[in-house]
Amino acid sequence: MFCIVISLQAPLNVHGAESNKIYNWSFNPSSNNEPSKTEPIYEDLLQKYGGYWIGDTMEKKIYLTFDNGYENGYTEKVLDVLKEKNVPATFFVTGHYLKEEQELIQRMVKEGHIVGNHSYHHPSLPEVSDERLRRELENLRELYKDVTGKDDMCYLRPPRGTFSERSLARSAELGYINVFWSFAYKDWVTQEQKGWKYAYDSIMKRVHPGAIMLLHSVSGDNAEALPKVIDDLQKQGYEFKSLDDLAFKRELPREFPTDESN
List, by residue number, the catalytic residues.
Answer: 67, 216
CA angle at 6 for the pair 4 and 8, rounded to the nearest 5°: 155
φ, ψ of residue 215 in degrees (nearest 5): -130, 165
Contacts of 136 (CB under 8 A, 6+ apart): 119, 120, 121, 123, 125, 128
Tell me the HSE value of 138 on the side-chain side, using a 13 A CA sphere: 12
Structural contact between residues 219 and 188, judged by C-beta atoms closer than 8 angstroms: yes
Distance CA 9, CA 48 (A): 5
What DSSP character marks residue 190?
G
Q: What angle do helix axes 75-85 and 102-110 make, rounded to 10 degrees?
A: 10
Structural contact between residues 140 and 117, judged by C-beta atoms closer than 8 angstroms: yes
